[in-house]
Structure 1
Amino acid sequence: MPAGPRPSVLFVTDLAYEARGRRYCDEDIFLTSRLREEFDIALCHPRDAAALLDGFDVVVKRNSGPVLHYQEAYDAFRARARERNVPVYNPLTGRGDMAGKQYLVDLSAAKHPVIATVDRAVDLGLLPEAAEYVIKPKLGADSVGLRFVAPELLAAEVAAEPDGTVLVQPRIDFSYEVSFYFIDRDFQYALYAPHTDRRWVLEPYGPTAADLEFARRFVEWNTLTHGIQRIDACRTADGELLLVELEDLNPYLSLDRVTEPVREAFVARMKTSVRELIG
């Protein structure tokens, strides 16, 4: 019998986006070349996704840069995808960065192992003492709008912002940052930045059982049944892991930093995951 039609994928990416220390376009050129082995693929810019998604079996949103650069177009895409019942990978129900950074405030209040975070001037007293504090927009990404503030200036700086629009955290003294990569709820690999001044100079990392338990608690909390998640954490000076970010919108994967067997296993698992989402 002849084979049935191949599933069609609208792959949303911005190949021209320039990120510090990363080559977004290279990663998506590689991924689409491999997904094309099993799917019919068309690429589009995130500003065009809402107009083009009809007729595709699934939309895969990958390295398309911070949403804040095209917020209106992204909102229109989300609305149309839901209206037309088109599956989106990652699904639009993510509770992490996909929904803004309110989750850091919520997780901190619930005493999860995250960097202490508040978003209101009245709550500054809940933060531990630190030599310096970080203020960043709740809807920010890629360090856009991030600034460091001395303790004596913190109250005035936060008071100048409307409640709920910025996050405030102590600046953590950490040994290194580490990222755990999952497809659906299956761990794939981990990478870390052994040099604190070079965030994207990554090396393979062998997680301990405790490390994986730490990462999995946030994957489980997020409740996504399909999709790619990157759990970013920092290792404090006393050895504790603290969550920095739960990236569930379009996490950069650093596939050029893993071995070929790991990369091949990731591609195979992603193909399966996309097919299962289509149903």
Structure 2
Amino acid sequence: MKTLLFVTDLYYEAKGRNYYEEDLFLTSKIREDFQVVICHPEDTETFEKDFDLIVFRNAGPVANFKDKYQSFRNRVVSGYLKTYNSFNGKADMNGKEYLIELTNAKYPVIPTIDTLDSLDKLPNVKTYIVKPKDGADSIGMEFVTKDELRDKVDSESKNTLVQPFINFEYEVSFYFIDKEFQYALYAPDKEQRWELKEYVPTEEDLTFANRFIEWNNLDWGIQRVDACRNEQGELLLVELEDLNPYLSLLELSVETRQNFVEAMKKSLQKALQA
């Protein structure tokens, strides 16, 4: 039986979510087919060479242990460590730079810049969102006026993202394993963004989400495409989480949850055989 080092921070506190509940459930299921050991994300170096596959799950924002995360990434490359997800993604696992790339390539994404020299790429709105490139879980995010941008954005270091504030209808997330759509969830009340319900996507919705999955082109793993529906009815990408997306598994129906678990087991086998 293959061995998995399941990386998670069971004590990480996230608003509206209990990471430990999700990962305790998930490990209870995948241990039916694998030998599983749980490890804190800051302690992997001691154990990682003794396992067939490192499963990087609910580790919390890696900005909280930036140096150790970068060292881990370096060991993945130099030590040929096998990981899940594969670490060839172009999205959140590398920070938020990709939002600028997608903006410049005219993908359906919330327009994003990192220098005020590019302010003309954003719509002229009353309120802007400013947040750090390596942020997560809304850490460091601020709402500012146009006049305040000069004090908040360092256009030389380019370590800050600027986006227009969008008055969206609701947020919706699409979950994929190995480029295969699994389920979607949405928050019908945007003031309660973690009160999620299952969402039945249209063909147009899936075409939107698949476009980002194909762009990212992971070898294997779980991805979450987060989007918002604007007042014109269009979907815009908020972020593409390809490192350790929270899955809201316990919010799903029993059937959908079980289907996801079985798909993940097959994907883990794929990663092990690669």
Q: Please name the residue that 1:264 is paired with.
A: 258
Does structure 2 retain, via aligned residues, the 8 Å contact 1:53–1:81? no
Q: CA deviation at 1:117?
A: 0.5
Instruction: Pick the aligned partner of 2:181 from 184, 187, 191.
Output: 187
Residue 258 of structure 1 and its aligned partner are, at CA, apart by 0.9
Separation of aligned partners in 1, 2:76 and 2:148: 44
The question of whether the paired residues in 2 share the 8 Å contact of 1:50 and 1:76 is answered with no
Instruction: Tell me the alpha carbon deviations over residues 163-187 of structure 1, each in whole angstroms, 9 at most, x when there is no partner.
Output: 3201000000100000000001100
Q: Does residue 20 of structure 1 match 2:15? A: yes
Give the ranges of 4+ consecutive aligned residues of structure 1 lying more than 6 Å apart after TM superposition. Answer: none
After superposition, what is the alpha-carbon deviation per residue over 1:25-55, rounded to whole angstroms, capped at 9, x for unaligned? 0000000000100000011100111221012
Q: Amino acid of the residue matched to residue 52 of structure 2?
A: D
Provide the secondary structure at the position in 1 that maps to 2:255.
helix
Deviation for aligned residue 1:125? 1.9
Q: Are the equivalent residues in 1 in contact too, given 2:175–2:224 (CA < 8 A)?
A: yes
Query: What are the Cα deviations for residues 178-218 of structure 1, in whole angstroms up to 9, with x where unaligned?
Result: 00000011000000001111111100000000000000000
Tell me what 2:60 maps to.
Answer: 65
Letter in 2 for 1:169: Q
How far does residue 152 in structure 1 lie from its aligned partner after superposition? 2.2
State whether residues 183 and 229 of structure 1, in contact with CA within 8 Å, keep that contact through their aligned partners in structure 2: yes
CA distance in 2, matches of 1:17, 1:213: 34
In structure 2, the partner of 1:135 is: 130
* Aligned ranges 1:114-153 → 2 under 5 Å: 114-153=109-148
Q: Tell me the equivalent position of 2:93.
A: 98
Tell me if structure 2 keeps the 8 A contact 1:90–1:228: yes
Partners of 1:151 and 1:83 in 2: how far apart? 45
| Partner SS state of residue 99, structure 1 | coil
Identical positions, percent: 51
Does residue 9 in structure 1 map to residue 4 in structure 2?
yes
The counterpart of 1:42, out of the listed 31, 37, 48, is 37
Aligned equivalent of 1:240: 234
User: 3-state DSSP class of the match of 1:174?
Assistant: coil
AA paired with 1:171? Answer: F
Structure 2 SS opposite 1:20: coil
| Alpha carbons 2:88, 2:219 under 8 Å: kept | no
- Alpha-carbon shift at residue 161 of structure 1 (Å): 5.7
Q: TM-score, normalised by structure 2?
A: 0.98
5+ residue gaps, structure 2: none
Q: Secondary structure at the match of 2:93?
A: helix
